[in-house]
Amino acid sequence: MTILETKDLTFTYPDGDSRKIILNDVNVGFEIGKFYTILGPSGSGKTTFLSLIAALDTPEKGEILLNGENIGKIGLEKFRRDHIGIIFQSYNLIPYMNALENVMVAMSITDNKIDGDLKQNALRVLESVGIDGTKATRRINRLSGGEQQRVAIARAISTNVEIIVADEPTGNLDGKTSETIIEIFKELAHKQKKCVIMVTHSEKIAQQSDVILKLNTDIQNFEAHTN
Amino acid sequence: MNFLKRSFISMIRNCSKILPLFFAVFVVGNLLCSAVAIKQTTLNTKKQFEKAFGTKIIFDYKNGYQNIGYEENNIKYRNLGAVFKEIDQLDIYSYSNISYFSNSLVSQNVKYQENENIYYEYEDMPLFIWGIDETIPIDEKEYDIELVDGRTFTQTELNHSKHVVVLSENFKITKDSKIRNIGIGDVVFIENEPFEVIGIYKRSKNVQIEINGYNEDNNCTRIYMPLGSLDEITTNINHIPVPIKAFFQLNDIEDTDLFMENYASFTKGIQIPDDFYMMKSTELFEKIGAPIESLSNISSYILVTTEIIMILILMLFVFLIMKNRKHEIGILYALGERKYKIILQFIFEIYLVGLLALSCSTITGCKLGQCLSTTLMNIDNKEELTIKEKQEQLHLIEMNQVDYSIEYFGQVFVACSLAMIISIGFPISYILRFEPKKILM
């Protein structure tokens, strides 16, 4: 079942007097319960694409549809708040807060229903990504990179959203930690029936996903490969 | 974890970043409080002046009394006397006080112990005989003179035109600087009529009078007696005393217009002296309150300047804070937080720090403002004022007080709050115009 799709998505950057085409009439759909990776060389527009489908930026042309409805109509803020969880390469956690507070911030922002006590829920989600109670109360800068990325994942999934997007979440992590993160994504897609979309430049990591979307720099569009 | 809680957490954990803002607001707050304190002082002083001096209308002569004596002018003075009598019938004032004077008695036949002519220590100075129709002479009422011995007139003495006088203590000194033992109960002869001395007065301490000659309105040359007595002794020489000084203390400031209307109707079609002036206490304030008014203007400029400086400093600090926290704004916005909540979080956080700094600066700023206003008032003390005006100006400066009223705090806090909200709201709103991706870049 397609939850998110793009229609004729186009994006350009200013390049001197002209504009450089990054994405050109991209049409792609994403389904619930699948783990997608977007693969491509640097400058191919992976992060730009992710920013557009995460409503962090607006396309020049084309539409992004959530269950057939344009996200512009839903409202970009509301879309981010209630439908999508974003994991950044650089974690983007609030530095003066601890892990638990970072998760609770996202939980308090969303309008999605969260059963039970907010704090207990946050602790449970953190536990599910491998952050125990002791680490949960540590300030962010006292956690390792891998732990910070787990907190970022916990924050993204804590709001009960259907779609999780991750921009090279393993880019700053060692191999073993990267493996753990990928396992969490697989579990989110397959067991928790989320639609997980991850940008990576690693062929090896991409091989673990259900669908690889390769961004070709020449045609500025996707080639889909199902694993 | 709503935006208020986020503000508190940020404030507690970002102390070192917030501290410069605290000190900036404290310093600017002191300036602002000083300006407001000065401004409020001037307003308070004006109010207190009105309360203390009431609403009075004063009639006096600009250039002394040299025009009195000419029959043509005396008609005008008598016309004015008639006007005063008509005004006297109105019930819009709590009391009035009119002094009369007869030119024919100047320096003439004022003798002590039947044979010694009384002269003032400055022998060229004339002695003026003033007729009083109130128990207290207008000059004492107006703080020009101060009774040092004896008393003023009783109502019985006024009603029955008793032969009693109040003299200056300067009459105790003869022209060749010898002591004359004139005192209460003594008898002086005016136009060969005996008058008992019932009171001795002196000039008020605060007033420094320069004696420049005949025309100087020098109240030490005055001899006060009941108006009836003056009438009586002038009848023999066929001279009618004329009013030379009067004031009316109105019940209410609102009655000023009514008084002026009546005055205009009473003086319509009749000739009145050209060289007298009429001054309302409100006008008096405008004249003698010049330092206060200039202070008020200065404080207004300081206030406006300080507010601009405050907004600029706050904007600078907020800009620096925002530069540090821009990423956080981007994170919150990327998470889908509503714009207004992000703005409120930062406004609340910075405003709370500002408010704390402001509360501290209110106390110190108020003291600073008090010192500053007193200093400025003393500097701007006009020399060209008359003795009486100077005296009242001194009273006015003494009234200079800053009170910690709700109005005072209200003014300071409203001004600062506006400055802070503008300086915080503007940059955040600007940042939030961009998409989260651009903010996070």
Per-residue pLDDT for A90 more than 90? no
**ipTM score:** 0.91
Q: What is the pLDDT of residue B408?
A: 65
Gap between the Cα atoms of B228 and B209, Å rounded:
30
Report whether A86 contacts A156 (CB < 8 A): yes
Q: Which of B9, B336, B437 sits opposite A97 (nearest CB)?
A: B9
Structure tokens at A133: 């109670």
Residues 162-181 of A with CB under 8 A from B: none
Q: Which of A86, A96, A104 sits opposite B334 (nearest CB)?
A: A86
B81-91 mean pLDDT: 78
Q: What is the per-residue pLDDT across B219-229, written as a single tens digit (0 to 9) for each?
A: 567 788 888 88
Instruction: Calculate the alpha carbon distances from B171 to B165, B166, B181, B215, B218 in Å.
Output: 13, 11, 9, 19, 14
Gap between the Cα atoms of A27 and B229, Å rounded:
117
Give the A:B interface size as CB pairs under 8 Å. Answer: 64
Report whether A125 contacts A157 (CB < 8 A): yes
Average pLDDT, rounded, for chain B? 74
Q: B339 — contact with chain A (CB < 8 Å)?
A: yes
Confidence of residue B198 (pLDDT cuts 50, 70, 90): very high
**Which H or E run includes A197?**
strand A195-200
Q: What is the pLDDT of residue A99?
A: 92
Per-residue pLDDT for B30 more than 80? yes
Q: Which of B2, B333, B334 sits opposite A108 (nearest CB)?
A: B2
Per-residue pLDDT for B211 more than 50? no
Strand duo A195-200 + A35-39: pairing: parallel
CB contact under 8 A, A57 and B435: yes
Q: A99 — contact with chain B (CB < 8 Å)?
A: no
Q: What's the number of CA atoms in the CB half-sphere (13 Å) around residue B103? A: 16
Strands in B104-163 per DSSP E: 110-112, 116-117, 128-132, 145-150
Confidence of residue B164 (pLDDT cuts 50, 70, 90): very high
CB contact under 8 A, B337 and A109: yes
Report whether B201 contacts B166 (CB < 8 A): yes
Q: Best mutation site among A80, A109, A111, A153 for testing chain B: the one with the most B CBs within 10 Å?
A: A109
Gap between the Cα atoms of B398 and B294, Å rounded:
17
Counting residues of chain A whose pLDDT is more than 90, the rounded percentage is: 24
Confidence of residue B376 (pLDDT cuts 50, 70, 90): low
Does the model's pTM come out above 0.95? no
B27-43 mean pLDDT: 75
Helix (H, G, I), strand (E, B) or coil at B285: helix
Min Cα distance B439 → chain A (Å) is 10
B178-204 mean pLDDT: 83
Per-residue pLDDT for B209 more than 70? no
Q: What is the pLDDT of residue B323?
A: 78
- Amino acid identity, residue A129? V
A34-61 mean pLDDT: 88
| Cβ within 8 Å of residue B133, ≥6 positions away | B97, B98, B100, B158, B226, B227
Q: What is the pLDDT of residue B208?
A: 43
Q: What is the per-residue pLDDT across A93-146, written as a single tens digit (0 to 9) for each?
A: 998 899 999 999 999 999 888 888 888 989 988 888 888 888 899 988 888 888
Q: What is the pLDDT of residue B326?
A: 86
Counting residues of chain B whose pLDDT is more than 70, the rounded percentage is: 67
Average pLDDT, rounded, for chain A? 86
Q: What is the per-residue pLDDT across B397-423, written as a single tens digit (0 to 9) for each?
A: 555 555 556 776 676 678 777 777 877
The residue that leads in pLDDT, A118 or A218, is: A118
Q: What is the per-residue pLDDT across A164-173, written as a single tens digit (0 to 9) for each?
A: 999 888 877 7
CB contact under 8 A, B334 and A56: yes
Q: What is the pLDDT of residue B216?
A: 39
Q: Which of B6, B10, B437 sits opposite A56 (nearest CB)?
A: B437
Least confident of A185-199, B62-76, B404-418: B62-76
Per-residue pLDDT for A220 more than 70? no
| Cβ within 8 Å of residue A211, ≥6 positions away | A34, A35, A36, A37, A224, A225, A226, A227
Q: Best mutation site among B335, B440, B441 for testing chain A: the one with the most A CBs within 10 Å?
A: B335
Q: What is the per-residue pLDDT across B296-341, written as a single tens digit (0 to 9) for each?
A: 777 778 777 877 777 777 778 777 877 788 888 999 999 999 999 9
B156-171 mean pLDDT: 88
Instruction: Calculate the alpha carbon distances from A19 to A13, A15, B438 in Å.
Output: 5, 5, 18
Q: What is the pLDDT of residue B104?
A: 60
Chain B residues with beta carbon closer than 8 angstroms to that of A109:
332, 335-337
Counting residues of chain B whose pLDDT is more than 90, the rounded percentage is: 4
Gap between the Cα atoms of B408 and B415, Å rounded:
11
The residue that leads in pLDDT, B128 or A205, is: A205
Q: What is the pLDDT of residue A102?
A: 93
Per-residue pLDDT for B394 more than 70? no
Q: What is the pLDDT of residue B320?
A: 80
Per-residue pLDDT for A10 more than 80? yes
- Amino acid identity, residue A146? G
